[in-house]
Every structure is written in C-alpha cells, then in structure tokens.
C-alpha cells in the first residue's frame, strides 16, 4: 500500500508540475502575442515629407486639385480627400493597406482621375492625418470603409455616382467584406487581400511562434472578439457571396505579407459562388509580391538601386545618418520614377470598372 501511495504521490506531483509549466508557457505566449499584436497595429504617423522617396501631393498640386473631407469612424475623425471633382464617370473609393495613408496611393489616384473617375481617398484609423491612438486591428479597415461609404451616401455631390472599390492589403479585405453590408457597389478590385482577420493573425502567429503558435490561438480569438465583436468574423468570401457584384481578385504568388495559398482571398476560390469573379495571379519578376504588383519594371529596378545606395550610407554612418546627408540623399530621389505604375496592370482594372458602368 505504501508503494502504491508513493507512486500516486509522484504522479500527482508530476501532473501539478506539468500544469504549472503549461500555465507559465501559456502566460508567456499570451504576453508575447499581446505585445506583438499591439506593435503590429500601433499608430502610424505620416512620414516627414523631407525624407519621402515617393510622390507627395505637393509634387502634383498644380495639376490635381482636391477637396478635403472628414467623417467619423469608431469615435475617431478620419481625414480624406476627393480628387477630380469635375469627373462624373463614377467614383473610385480607395481603401489603403495597413500603415499606408492615402497619399501612398497618389499615383493610382492620379491614374483614375486621368481616366475620367472621381476618386475618394482617406487615411484609416490611427494612420497619418486621421485620429486614433492605434490602427486597432485588421477588422478596423472594414469599419473605416463602412464609415466612408456612409459618408458618400449622405453627400449629394457623390451619391449620384456609381461606386467602384479599389483596395490593397487590408483594404483588399475591406472592399470585399463590405459587400455584405447593403451598399450599392458597382464593381470591386481587391489587391493582395486576406480572407478573414482571424486567418491573418493566425498566419502571422505561425510565422512568429512556429510550433508554439496553436497555444496562442485562444488568446487571439478572445482578443479579436473583445476588440470587434461580431465584426471580427466577417470574411471576404461571405461578402463576395452575398451579392453578384463583379469582383476582381488579384494576388502575387510570392506575397511576403499575406500568403497566396494561405490567408489570401484567392486561396478560397473554391468557396466563392458569385458568378462575376475575375482572378488574376501575378507571378512575373517585380510583380509577384505584396507591394510591387502595381509598380512598373522601371520603378522596381530604380527603387532597388536607390535602396542599395541608402544602405551604403546607413552602414557608413552606423545607422546614425546626419540630417544633411539624409536630406541630400532624398533630394536625389526621383519620386515620379519610384511611383511609376505598371500601366498594363492598371488598365486591366480600369477596363474592368468601365465594363460595369
């Protein structure tokens, strides 16, 4: 009997020790996930224009007039602009990617204006000129786009135009997920979008934690639910399938941020029943990633060369580049060249939109 009691006591101690170990690991994983989540969705300030390598509005202000707009989303005032107020072909609403403001898509904005569209752009919550202490999380892009479309409905200058949605990255998610919200949308172009917020954060967790990632899933689930409630579970496929609105889904095979065969909307094509879907897979060099899909070959090559030049300067000063040296470098950057678009890519989207007028 003593031997049996001893063995049971040993097993009990081992079980308690294992439970404590699991508890410690789970707590550490939870803290790690929370810290990384908050860092991933922290506030993004607008870059100093003196150190910008891409087009800024001051470069084109003489040729492209714009009107400032503002609307509220989740208690924050979002800032945006309407370009091409003289155009009446239709309204292209541009939903930006995480960490990018509307000015990051100035080349696309100019392209659409030049092709007869009025264009509405805005900075998401916690980004550039908009209010918000952080970008909150992936579902916020859907809430911000909902607020933008609600603003359009109430504006008599805009609500008379057919609406086309153009979204990149988490904007690519928003422009498809929003289709289940009852807005009158003529056509959608979704570029490098993810299917669902939970799929995205799980994919990022897998990348960070590897084999330990499943431990983080419950915490991610709880966090998403606490932040967004039922909105956290709205998927791109559910939005697409709720309507017959034509949708073009575009994704690069080597997307380094949202996996082509993982969280990407395009990976869920077998779930999509909307009959008016066009899929575009981008697989050629310089056009197969996350942010280079709309760049021209010349822009990609020029940007690579300028990045190497900057790296040499960075290494020369051990990362502490004097302001005058940094300013001199950026003065030597041709911002029209870095922002040059792949016109074949953009023309394909433009033609898709024009077909739905």
Give residue 135's pLDDT. 97
Domain boundary among 262, 277, 295: 295
Give me the residues paired with residue 76 across strands.
73
In a domain, 158, yes or no: yes
Return the closest-CA partner of residue 30 out of 242, 177, 215, 167: 215
Burial class (CB in 10 A: 0-12, 13-18, 19+), 315: exposed
245-270 b/e (C-beta count within 10 Å ≥ 16 → b): bbbbbbbbbebebbbbeebbbbbbee
Residues 315, 243, single domain; the answer is no
Residues 336, 238, single domain; the answer is no
Residues 138, 158, single domain; the answer is yes
In a domain, 120, yes or no: yes
Residues 254, 321, single domain; the answer is no
Sign of the four-CA dihedral 26, 138, 203, 289: negative
* Distance from C-alpha of 119 to C-alpha of 171, rounded to nearest angstrom: 15
* Distance from C-alpha of 261 to C-alpha of 254, rounded to nearest angstrom: 10
In a domain, 127, yes or no: yes
Residues 336, 261, single domain; the answer is no
In a domain, 38, yes or no: no
In a domain, 221, yes or no: no
φ, ψ of residue 281 in degrees (nearest 5): -95, 125
Residues 263, 153, single domain; the answer is yes
Residues 76, 108, single domain; the answer is yes
Residues 335, 242, single domain; the answer is no
Report the domain count for the chain.
2
What angle, rounded to 10 degrees, do the helices at 140-153 and 170-177 form? 50
* Distance from C-alpha of 237 to C-alpha of 177, rounded to nearest angstrom: 7
Q: How many CB atoms lie within 10 A of CB 123?
A: 24
Question: Cβ distance 83 to 118 under 8 Å?
Answer: yes
Q: Residue 69: CB partners within 8 Å, gap ≥ 6?
A: 79, 80, 81, 82, 120, 122, 151
Q: Find how far residue 42's CA is from the centre of its chain.
A: 14
Give residue 218's pLDDT. 83
pTM: 0.91
Residue numbers of the domain that contains 317? 296-340
Residues 181, 116, single domain; the answer is yes
* Distance from C-alpha of 79 to C-alpha of 127, rounded to nearest angstrom: 10
E strand spans, the chain: 66-73, 76-83, 91-95, 118-122, 163-168, 187-191, 247-252, 277-282
* Distance from C-alpha of 197 to C-alpha of 41, rounded to nearest angstrom: 13
Residues 180, 256, single domain; the answer is yes
What residue has token string 């904007």? 171
CATH of the domain at 98: 3.40.50.1820
Burial class (CB in 10 A: 0-12, 13-18, 19+), 193: buried
In a domain, 277, yes or no: yes
Residues 268, 309, single domain; the answer is no
Q: How far apart are the first and last CA of the chain?
A: 86
Mean pLDDT by 10 residues, the chain (357 residues): 54 59 58 80 91 92 98 98 97 96 97 98 98 97 98 98 98 98 98 97 86 82 92 98 98 97 97 98 94 95 95 94 92 95 98 96
Give alpha helix (H) positions in 115-267: 140-153, 170-177, 197-209, 213-228, 236-241
Give residue 241's pLDDT. 98
Residues 152, 244, single domain; the answer is yes
* Distance from C-alpha of 20 to C-alpha of 314, rounded to nearest angstrom: 47
In a domain, 229, yes or no: no
In a domain, 185, yes or no: yes
Q: Residue 230: CB partners within 8 Å, gap ≥ 6?
A: none
């Amino acid at each position: 009997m003593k031997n049996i009691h001893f063995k049971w006591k040993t097993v009990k101690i081992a079980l308690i020790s294992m439970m404590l170990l699991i508890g410690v690991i789970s707590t550490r994983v939870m803290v790690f996930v929370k810290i990384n989540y908050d860092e991933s969705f922290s506030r993004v300030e607008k870059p100093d224009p003196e150190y910008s390598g891409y087009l800024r509005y001051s470069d084109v202000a003489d040729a492209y007039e714009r009107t400032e707009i503002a609307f509220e989303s989740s208690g924050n005032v979002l800032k945006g602009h309407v370009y091409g107020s003289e155009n009446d072909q239709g309204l292209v609403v541009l939903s930006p990617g995480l960490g990018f403001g509307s000015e990051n898509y100035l080349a696309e904005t100019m392209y659409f204006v030049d092709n007869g569209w009025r264009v509405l752009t805005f900075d998401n919550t916690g980004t550039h000129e908009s209010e918000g202490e952080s970008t909150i999380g992936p579902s916020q892009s859907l809430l911000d786009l909902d607020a933008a479309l609600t603003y359009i409905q109430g504006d008599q200058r805009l609500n008379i135009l057919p609406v086309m949605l153009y979204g990149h990255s988490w904007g690519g998610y928003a422009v498809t997920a929003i289709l289940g919200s009852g807005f009158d949308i003529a056509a959608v172009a979704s570029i490098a979008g993810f299917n669902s917020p939970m799929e995205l954060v799980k994919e990022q967790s897998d990348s960070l934690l590897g084999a330990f990632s499943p431990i983080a899933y419950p915490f991610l689930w709880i966090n998403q639910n606490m932040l967004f409630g039922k909105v956290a579970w709205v998927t791109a496929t559910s939005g697409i399938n709720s309507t017959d609105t034509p949708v073009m889904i575009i994704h690069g095979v080597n997307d380094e941020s949202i996996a082509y065969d993982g969280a990407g909307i395009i990976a869920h094509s077998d779930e999509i029943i909307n009959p008016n879907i066009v899929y575009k897979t981008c697989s050629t060099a310089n056009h197969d990633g996350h942010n280079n899909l709309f760049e021209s070959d010349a822009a990609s090559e020029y940007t690579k060369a300028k990045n190497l030049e900057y790296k040499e300067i960075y290494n020369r000063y051990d990362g502490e580049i004097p302001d005058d040296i940094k300013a001199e470098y950026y003065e030597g950057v041709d911002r029209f060249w870095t922002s040059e678009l792949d016109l074949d890519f953009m023309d394909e989207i433009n033609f898709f939109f024009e077909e739905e007028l």
